[in-house]
Amino acid sequence: MKDFRHNEEEIFKTPEDYFNRSAAEIMAATVGENLDLSASTSGIRKQIQPGAKVIRINARVWIAATAAVTVGLVFFLAGREETQTTQGGLALNELNDEVLHEVILEANDELFAEYLGAQLDSISFVTEPEESVQQQNTRNEGKDVSFDHVTDEELIRYLTEEDFDHDLDF
Amino acid sequence: MIDESKMIALLFEQRQKEKAFEQVLMHYQKPVYYYIRKFLVDHDDTDDVCQQVFIKAWKGLGNFKGESKIGTWLYRIAYNESMTFIEKKKRIAGVALDKVESELPGVLMSDDLFTGDEIQAKLQSAVAALPDKQRAVFIMKYFEDRRYEDIAEITGTSVGALKASFHHAVHKIELFMKNNTTW
């Protein structure tokens, strides 16, 4: 059987002497070593000049310029994302198989408790039309509508069996 | 082979850290480059991201506590940088989320620096067409033969989620290899 795992250098070629040149450029950009970069052609290489001081000055100018653009871009993207989420209710592109499986596999007790908490919260938020005390007494007469007798365990079992499994049935 | 604990100790020494960093760079430059290359396919993209990884590592030396291996730390930066690069590319291009992935096989086949034979090209195309996270997991598990625990540390994902992602990736690659098509 053919093994594809250990031939990366054979199939992904690099320009001649790439690693030596790249290492020199990285060292120049980090520890500021003054290395010969005459062969430099692209990427961060364009920003790097021989000599640490020059590099640092360039870096500051570069950072200041890009920071302004980045801040603007962040606000723009944040606004756009919020609009999309508001319109769609949920970012549909997040609902792929992978995410869903991650949700299931990472659904530990804490997440489960959080889910149940949300369910319980939603129950408490169910609003009924207001009725007078007299109407309530009439309606409740002879009936036990209190949930006091329902234990937490029963409620959790109910939610687990009736809702949770169905909602997350993949 | 570098002495991991000795190297970490030197990285924390003010007077030795530049020399130590150079040795780390020499030792990890190639593996990190090929790790990123398998992600991004294109050499120029890989070159830029790879350099960023080591620059960030240098700048972030103060945050490195030496609790994980140097390699794991570098791969974690490389993974994050690669993902950030892909996301940026998607945003700048204003394309749909899966568009960049679907273009990668085409990039691969038109890359003068790719010299694989037909079956290798097909496998790499299949890998390139996977969604980002699945591609990352598949590369680390299959090509680099890493343990799930190590991959979890690099990606910040649970082992269970990684296994699920790997399972999906393998299934999609099987389909791709059989049908020679995208999904």
How far apart are alpha carbons A41 and A49 in whole angstroms? 12
**In A, which residues are within 8 Å of B145 by CB distance?**
5
Does the pLDDT at position B128 exceed 70? Answer: yes
A17 interface with B at CB cutoff 8 Å: no
Q: Which of A5, A25, A42 has its CB closest to that of B44?
A: A42
Share of chain A above pLDDT 70, in %: 24
How far apart are alpha carbons B135 and B147 in whole angstroms? 16
Q: Which residues contact B71 (CB under 8 A, 6 or more apart)?
A: B28, B31
pLDDT at residue A101, as a whole number: 56
Residue with the larger pLDDT of the pair B136 and B90: B136
Search chain A and give the residue with CA nearest B27. A23
How far apart are alpha carbons A116 and B77 in whole angstroms? 36
Is 0.90 exceeded by the ipTM?
Answer: no
Does the pLDDT at position A88 exceed 60? Answer: no
**In A, which residues are within 8 Å of B119 by CB distance?**
2
How far apart are alpha carbons A98 and B169 in whole angstroms? 10
pLDDT at residue A40, as a whole number: 41
Task: Give me chain A's average pLDDT, please.
Answer: 60
User: CB-based burial of residue B41 (10 Å sphere; 0-12 exposed, 13-18 middle, 19+ buried)?
Assistant: buried
- Check A98 against B160: CB less than 8 A apart: no
Residue with the larger pLDDT of the pair A108 and A8: A8
- Check A5 against B115: CB less than 8 A apart: no
Of A91-105, A118-132, B95-109, B156-170, give the range with the top mean pLDDT.
Answer: B156-170
- Check B165 against A2: CB less than 8 A apart: no
Tens of pLDDT along B37-51? 888 888 999 999 999
- Check B158 against A27: CB less than 8 A apart: no
To the nearest whole angstrom, how far is the Cα of B141 from the nearest Cα of chain A?
10
Q: Which of the 8 DSSP states describes residue A12?
A: B
To the nearest whole angstrom, how far is the Cα of B51 from the nearest Cα of chain A?
6
What confidence category does residue A76 fall into, taking pLDDT thresholds of 50, 70 and 90? confident
- CA dist B61 to A33, A48, B12, B25, B50, Å? 18, 21, 8, 13, 17
- Check A105 against B161: CB less than 8 A apart: yes
The average pLDDT across A128-140 equals 62
How far apart are alpha carbons B31 and B99 in whole angstroms? 28
To the nearest whole angstrom, how far is the Cα of B158 from the nearest Cα of chain A?
7
What confidence category does residue A48 fall into, taking pLDDT thresholds of 50, 70 and 90? very low
**In A, which residues are within 8 Å of B168 by CB distance?**
97-98, 101
What confidence category does residue B54 fall into, taking pLDDT thresholds of 50, 70 and 90? very high
What confidence category does residue B1 fall into, taking pLDDT thresholds of 50, 70 and 90? low
Rounded to the nearest angstrom, the gap between the alpha carbon of residue A153 and the centroid of all alpha carbons in its chain is 33
- Check B29 against A22: CB less than 8 A apart: yes
Search chain A and give the residue with CA nearest B22. A27
The average pLDDT across B156-174 equals 89
Q: Which of B48, B131, B145 has its CB closest to that of A44?
A: B48
pLDDT at residue A90, as a whole number: 43
Task: Give me chain B's average pLDDT, please.
Answer: 83
Least confident of A61-70, B22-31, B41-50, B161-170: A61-70
